[in-house]
Structure 1
Amino acid sequence: MSQLIRLRDIQATHRDLIGDDYYDPTGKTAYGANEEKIGKIEGALVEDTTGRIRYLIVDAGGWFSSKEVLVPAGLARIVGDDVFFDSLTKAQVEAMEVYDHDYQYSYKEQYERDRKAFVADTVPQAERFEVQDTSYNAPNTLELLEERLTVNKDRIVAGLVKVGKHVVTEERNIDVDLEEEHAHIERTNVDRPTDRRIGDDLHDQTIEVELEAERARVGKETYVAEEVSVGKTTQHHTETIAETIQREELDVDRDGNVVDREGNLVNREGITAEDVRRARGM
Structure 2
Amino acid sequence: MALYKIKDFDPDYRDHFEGHDIKGMDLYSGDQKIGSVNDVLVDEEGRFRYLIINTGAWIFGKQVMLPIGRARIDYSDNHVYADGLTKQQVEALPEFTEDLKIDYDQEEQVRNVYRPTAATATTGLEAPLESSAALNSPVPVDGTAYTGSSMGATTAPTYDRDTYNYDYDADLYAIDDTKHPSLKLYQERLVANKTRAKTGEVAIGKRVETETARVSVPVEKERVVIERSTPTSGTITPDATAFQEGEVARVEVYEETPDIHKEAFVREEVTVKKVVEQDTVTAEEQIRREELDVDTQGRPVVEGDAAKRKKI
Q: TM-score, normalised by structure 2?
A: 0.41
Structure with higher RCO (Cα < 8 A, 6+ apart): 1
Q: TM-score, normalised by structure 1?
A: 0.45
